[in-house]
Structure 1
Amino acid sequence: MQQELVYEVKDNIATIRLNRPEKLNAFTGEMLHAWHDALLESEQRDDVNVVVLTGTGKGFCSGGDVGSFAERHGVETAYSRKQSLAHRVHRIPLLMERMDKPVLVAVNGVAAGAGMDMALMGDIRIAARSARFAETYVRMGIFAGDGGAWYLPRIVGVPMALELLFTGRFVDSDEAKQLGLVNRVVDDDQLMEATYEMAANIASQPPLAIKMMKRAVYQSMHIDLRTHLDLASSHMGTIFTTEDHKEAVAAFREKRKPVFKGC
């Protein structure tokens, strides 16, 4: 039986690959559990500095499997549906919010509905030229319940977020770049090479410094400047005591490439 999700670690980079290409990687309950477990393992492993998320085939993720929607009618109560989201989909953004390790998303095709939301949960997005994005919930007569209504306005601003949520229209890769939905657009056959090149660059940096920078950026979105600077001074005090900082200074003086150990 085909694995619905493939997980591997190489050169301090963990790759999570959604693997239902025949369904444009529409997720199932089993895939969501495997997705969460892969993220949790990446968070806990000392040999993982960066996580790459992508999909197999022509699509990144088309969201929930629409074919299963009709089966739920008359079976699920409002409360059971709420619990299902909390215990399956919502575990992923909550875990990703907690993770200090960078998550790069390589969007290799359509990212729709919850699939777009999953892409937005990453820290950096690189899109294939063929990639398309849409918050398609409205087309199914449902609400953007997987995080899109939280992530989208923080990335593109409230007016544009509402336009995309209200209309469910598709955004191509060029418009996605213009709106700030993605960091970079590359030709389809260059997507993974470009993604791993960036991931390798980040993975080669001092891990603790990367973690604290990511933490500081996301913390700063919810606090005032004075509180941010207070936290930053604490982070800096900690970083100055690390072996990686000492190694960076020594390597600079000795004109050699530093070797970081994450301590």
Structure 2
Amino acid sequence: MSELLFEKAGGIATITLNRPDSGNAFTTEMLAQWEQALRECIHDDAIRCVVLTGAGRIFCSGGDVKRMAANTAGGQQPWDRAKYLTDHVHRIPLTLMELDKPYLVAVNGAATGAGMDMALMGDLRFAAESARFAETYIKVGFVAGDGGAWMLPRLVGLPRALEMLWLGDFVSAAEAERIGLVNRTVPDDQLMAHTYSVAERLASGPTVGIRLMKRMVMQGLTSSFRDGLAFAASCVGVVSATEDHREATAAFAEKRKPVFRGK
């Protein structure tokens, strides 16, 4: 059985981490399949929104702790460990930096360590009521190796981020919503229906505008306000020439619902 499932339907691609008996912990094979799936999402214009979730009762437990222990006992050198991160684990966030389409994460259960970090990489995050979140690195004498120390303060603020990183305690789905870690918490049996309802809205929307809006927001995190305004002006020029913009303005004048084609 494949360690990662990849399906496409109706403009939506679904990536499912598929090692439920191992808490969907990463393997090198899973990470390679994950990157390949993301690259297909980047290049396939028929895909207009991407959904990530986990199989079974756990979203993702991150790295395989047993394998870490074996590597340490076997004398794995610091350079080898660092290289594994950069050559495999970090390929996911780096590839996501190239994805300007909506990336929704449906957290169906516990998200811990690097598994939580992978959840943080979503543009929007929805959590089942039974989901829990913890930066558990400290529990095994480790540090956040998959971007959590960079992403978490930007989502929940510095003091709360340090509390989660230093203590490694679990945060409930309800608390995660309260502090801005997830967009919304829904009953377990409604998680995927809710996620796909949002994905369908995005997939049927004006694709160019949606993609440019994501680029504008991401660039704004590292640029000045003046640069942001300049980029916005360029994006307005591009989007004003799209078929979807013409359709939207015509539909407004004709008092009907627009039908977007993603062009």
2:32 is the counterpart of 1:33: yes
Q: Aligned pair count?
A: 262
The C-alpha deviation readout for 1:78-109, integer Å capped at 9, x for no partner, is 11111110010101101112210010000000
Aligned to 1:135: 135
The C-alpha deviation readout for 1:151-180, integer Å capped at 9, x for no partner, is 101101111100100000000001100110
Aligned to 2:55: 56
Aligned to 1:244: 244
Aligned equivalents of 2:137, 2:237: Cα separation in 1? 46
The C-alpha deviation readout for 1:227-250, integer Å capped at 9, x for no partner, is 111110111011111111111112
Aligned to 2:232: 232
Aligned equivalents of 2:9, 2:249: Cα separation in 1? 28
Aligned equivalents of 1:161, 1:131: Cα separation in 2? 18
Aligned to 2:179: 179
Aligned to 2:4: 5
Q: Is the 8 A contact 2:17 2:53 kept in 1?
A: yes
Q: CA deviation at 1:76?
A: 1.9
Aligned to 1:14: 13
Q: Which amino acid aligns with 2:219?
A: Q
Aligned to 2:117: 117
Q: Is the 8 A contact 2:155 2:180 kept in 1?
A: yes
Aligned to 2:85: 85
Q: CA deviation at 1:260?
A: 2.2
**Unaligned segments of structure 2, at least 5 residues:** none
**Unaligned segments of structure 1, at least 5 residues:** none
The C-alpha deviation readout for 1:22-76, integer Å capped at 9, x for no partner, is 1111111110111111111111111100000000010100111112112211332
Aligned to 2:255: 255
The C-alpha deviation readout for 1:208-245, integer Å capped at 9, x for no partner, is 00000011111111112111111101110111111111
The C-alpha deviation readout for 1:184-231, integer Å capped at 9, x for no partner, is 000000000000001001111111000000111111111121111111
Aligned to 2:209: 209
Aligned to 2:23: 24
Aligned equivalents of 1:31, 1:95: Cα separation in 2? 15
Q: CA deviation at 1:261?
A: 2.5
Aligned equivalents of 2:204, 2:251: Cα separation in 1? 14
Give runs of ≥4 in structure 1 deviating > 3 Å.
none
Describe the SS at the equivalent of 1:93: helix
Q: CA deviation at 1:256?
A: 3.1
The C-alpha deviation readout for 1:119-157, integer Å capped at 9, x for no partner, is 000100000000000000000101101110011011011
Aligned equivalents of 2:48, 2:256: Cα separation in 1? 22
2:28 is the counterpart of 1:46: no
Aligned to 2:193: 193
Aligned equivalents of 1:259, 1:9: Cα separation in 2? 21
Aligned equivalents of 2:143, 2:128: Cα separation in 1? 28
Aligned equivalents of 1:157, 1:90: Cα separation in 2? 23
Describe the SS at the equivalent of 2:24: coil
Aligned equivalents of 2:61, 2:52: Cα separation in 1? 15
Describe the SS at the equivalent of 2:97: helix
For normalisation by structure 2, the TM-score amounts to: 0.97
Q: Which amino acid aligns with 2:64?
A: D
